[in-house]
Amino acid sequence: MAGKYSNSLRQMEWVKGNAVGSGSFGTVNLAMNKSNGELFAVKSASSGSGFQSLENEADILKNLNSPYIVRYLGHDVSDEANGEQTFNLFMEFMAGGSLSDITKKFGGALDESVIRSYTRGILHGLAYLHRSRIVHCDLKCKNVLLGSSGDIRLADFGGAKRLNSSKANTNSKNFWQSMCGTPLWMAPEVLRNEGLDFASDIWSLGCTVIEMATGSPWGDEVSNPMAAVYKIACSDETPQLPPNFSAEGLDFLRKCLQRNPTSRWSSEELLSHPFVSGNTSGKYSSKEYAYSPTSVLDDRGWESDGSESPIAEELPARMPFLKRCTKEERQMTKHQTQIDIAASEWVDVRSG
């Protein structure tokens, strides 16, 4: 398939190559600039929900500029022979594929030293998004791309939300149509339809770190999707932590996987955590560290990646954590979770 790639700067002739991945809607193909042989990736979708998802992703990406976010190159809309229109989103090509691919290729689990490095890159990307008032909403290994030199890029922004947009409000009767994400990585408060905030991404980050370490965010604890959604939403449980992780790694995960979203550390705070910063000055005590975050904040510094700068104003307070589910709420949650999820496979839930 050939077409024209256009944005405000230029036009070019391009041709679509083999598929290199798939998303919630449509496929991702390798593509080539016919004039100079430049390679890039094109994500295409023609269905109604897929078209809207890519439109949202293009709208989000075109305003972002960070070495930790996949680079937007433009988009076009093509007319197909069957009368449908196809939305094509052009992005930089990441030769390493996704972290999910990498984890599977290296035995289903990565070394902790590698996880530390990848997690630091993911956090830089999240910190940039959150300063831009954007919640990714679907952070997981499949949506983190890797370059050949180990550079990390966050990708797949089809379900991302701007907190100053009415679209970010998930409190509606059509919750399952308006929510986004993949259930095993989703925060409890999101599954309970209590709202969406930056802290939701932090819970997903913890699940993603566990996924890199074990191959799955919840391990073998949840085999039935419907039971898993109920468990994550209304129990007091958290994912099982990797048994061979260091004290720093376990403490980092505890900072992410607090069921009360107001107790989770922010992306900026986590960048100063010894698990990713490498700053282990003084005797480390996971118990003491876990209950004294002031000791980190008092010594926190800003590390710039060259394209990002801190902002003076504090981020708005997170949405308060509501009470534990009552019997009636559990029945309501159980009713809401009657969604079409195959028992053998987890699927993404996207805005329609």
Spell out the domain ranges in the chain: 7-91, 99-336
C-alpha–C-alpha distance, residues 40 and 92, integer Å: 5
Taking every pair of Cα atoms in the chain, the longest distance, rounded to a whole number of angstroms, is: 67
Confidence at residue 24, expressed as pLDDT on a 0 to 100 scale: 66
SS3 239: coil
pLDDT band at 191 (very low <50, low <70, confident <90, very high): very high
The answer to whether the beta carbons of residues 70 and 99 sit under 8 Å apart is no
**β strands within 126-226, DSSP E:** 134-135, 144-146, 152-154, 161-162
Confidence at residue 278, expressed as pLDDT on a 0 to 100 scale: 83
C-alpha–C-alpha distance, residues 99 and 182, integer Å: 16
Confidence at residue 322, expressed as pLDDT on a 0 to 100 scale: 34
- Domains 7-91 and 99-336 agree in fold: no
C-alpha–C-alpha distance, residues 152 and 117, integer Å: 9
C-alpha–C-alpha distance, residues 70 and 68, integer Å: 7
* Least reliable range by pLDDT among 107-111, 134-138, 157-161, 302-306: 302-306
Is the pLDDT confidence value at 169 over 60?
no
Burial of 36 (0-12, 13-18, 19+ CB in 10 A): exposed
Catalytic residues: 138
pLDDT band at 352 (very low <50, low <70, confident <90, very high): very low
pTM: 0.75
Facing residues of 200 across strands?
Answer: none
Is the pLDDT confidence value at 12 over 80?
no
Confidence at residue 224, expressed as pLDDT on a 0 to 100 scale: 74
CA-closest candidate to residue 69, choices 165, 180, 143, 179: 143
* Least reliable range by pLDDT among 114-128, 194-208, 332-346: 332-346
Q: Which two tokens stand for residue 259?
A: 């069921």
* Overall fold of domain 99-336: Transferase(Phosphotransferase); domain 1 (1.10.510)
Confidence at residue 174, expressed as pLDDT on a 0 to 100 scale: 39
* Least reliable range by pLDDT among 48-57, 77-86, 275-284: 275-284
Mean pLDDT value of segment 54-60: 94
CATH number at 7-91 = 3.30.200.20
